[in-house]
Chain A
Amino acid sequence: DAGVIQSPRHEVTEMGQEVTLRCKPISGHDYLFWYRQTMMRGLELLIYFNNNVPIDDSGMPEDRFSAKMPNASFSTLKIQPSEPRDSAVYFCASSSGQGAGELFFGEGSRLTVL
C-alpha cells in the first residue's frame, strides 16, 4: 500500500510568491493533518480535516495560509504571499478514526522562501 504522498518534496521560492503544497492521504483514512516543523518551534499542528471537513484550523498562523480538501484523496496547503519565516518542513499525515493517535506521515515538503 502506498503511504501518504506529498509534493513537492522541495520548494524554493521568493518572498511574495504563492506556494501550494499537495497531499494524498492513505486510502480509507478519514483524518488528514497538516503539520509544520522548524528547529525553533518543533512540530506544530496547523489544521486537520475529518471526512474532508476542516475541524480545527486554530493552528494556521495567519490569513496567508489556507487549506482545502476537495475530496477524500487530496488536500492542499496554500501560502499566499509567502514570507521567509514560512521556511520549514510541512508534513501531511493521515489516520483512521479507529486508530486515533497513530498518524502516518508523508515524507514532507521542505519549503525555503528567500
Chain B
Amino acid sequence: QKEVEQNSGPLSVPEGAIASLNCTYSDRGSQSFFWYRQYSGKSPELIMSIYSNGDKEDGRFTAQLNKASQYVSLLIRDSQPSDSATYLCAVLLLYNNNDMRFGAGTRLTVKP
C-alpha cells in the first residue's frame, strides 16, 4: 500500500462548481497534512495545511481531515479556470517529522 493515495483523475468540473479532491494515507500516527498545487511545467506550491480533525477554510479552499478514517480532502468552491492544475496531497510521516510523502496528484480541469 502506498503511503499516500489519490485518484489521479482527471477531474473535470464546470466553472463555478465545487471541486472535491480526496486523499488517504497509511501512517496512522501522522499528524500533519498538506495540499500542494502544481501547474503544468511548474513546481509545487503549498496552498493548505491541516493538523486537527475537522475543517479548515481559507478563501475558496476548505481542507477536511478525518484521522480515524485516515482521510484528507480539499474542496474548492466557485472553481475558476485558473484552478486547473494538479493537486498533490502530502503527509509528514510520524516517525520522521521532516519526511514529507506526496500522493501521485489529481489533475483538475475547470471548464469555462
CA distance A100 to B97 in the complex (A): 7
Q: With an 8 A cutoff between CB atoms, is B60 at the interface?
A: no
Interface residues of B (CB under 8 A from A): 32, 34, 36, 42-46, 49, 88, 90, 92, 96-105
Tell me the bound Cα distance from A64 to B57 in angstroms.
Answer: 44
How many chain A residues touch B (CB < 8 A): the figure is 21
Query: Shortest CB–CB separation between residue B29 and chain A, in angstroms?
Result: 15
Chain B residue nearest in CB terms to A6: B43
In the assembled complex, 21 residue pairs joining A and B whose CB atoms fall closer than 8 Å, in A order, are: A33-B100, A35-B102, A43-B88, A45-B99, A45-B101, A48-B98, A50-B98, A55-B98, A91-B43, A91-B44, A95-B98, A100-B32, A100-B97, A101-B46, A101-B92, A102-B34, A102-B49, A105-B43, A105-B44, A107-B43, A108-B43
A34 contacts partner chain B, Cβ-Cβ < 8 Å: no
- Shortest distance from the beta carbon of A98 to any chain B beta carbon, whole Å: 12
Given contacts A100-B97, A108-B43, 4 further A-B contacts (CB under 8 A): A31-B98, A43-B44, A101-B49, A103-B36
Cβ–Cβ contact A107 & B99, under 8 A: no
What distance in Å separates the Cβ of B91 from its nearest Cβ neighbour in chain A? 9
B-contacting residues of A (Cβ < 8 Å)? 31, 33, 35, 42-45, 48, 50, 55-56, 91, 95, 100-103, 105-108
Please determine whether A102 and B101 come into contact, CB atoms closer than 8 angstroms: no
Residue of A nearest to B43 (CB): A105
Q: A85 CB to closest chain B CB, in angstroms?
A: 18
